[in-house]
Amino acid sequence: MDADTVLDEIQDINLTYLLLAQRMLKEDFATALFRLKIDPAMAEVLTSLSARQLGQLSRTNQLLFRLCFDNAEQVKKVTHNRREQGLGQTHAALLMACANSA
């Protein structure tokens, strides 16, 4: 895979993420704040951006979002636990929520 392909894919992911974030914020502001782990000021800016501005913001060589898990141990706890599948999703949500409040 060449560098141009990777850059194009990063930019596509960024635009998709920004469009999703904007839609989430417009549908349920409070829940989106929690799920996106952003503050209200950032949320207001994101919801106010036009399609052109979102496209402009997405054209960077870095991902605009980051993983919610701050360390490898958190990922291991979620992916290597022996709980039922339904509880595994709950466990992941709890770990991410704890990281948000820390």
Average pLDDT over residues 81-95: 63
Residue 81: the pLDDT is 67
Backbone angles phi, psi at 84, to 5 degrees: -60, 155
pLDDT tens column, 17-59: 999 999 999 999 999 999 998 999 999 999 999 999 999 999 9
- The number of residues making up the chain comes to 102
In this predicted structure, the answer to whether residue 5 has a pLDDT above a threshold of 90 is yes
- How many Cβ atoms from other residues are within 10 Å of residue 80's Cβ? 8
- The answer to whether the beta carbons of residues 78 and 92 sit under 8 Å apart is yes
Domains and CATH numbers, the chain: 1-66 (1.10.4000.10), 67-102 (no CATH)
Band (pLDDT 50/70/90 cuts) for residue 87 is low
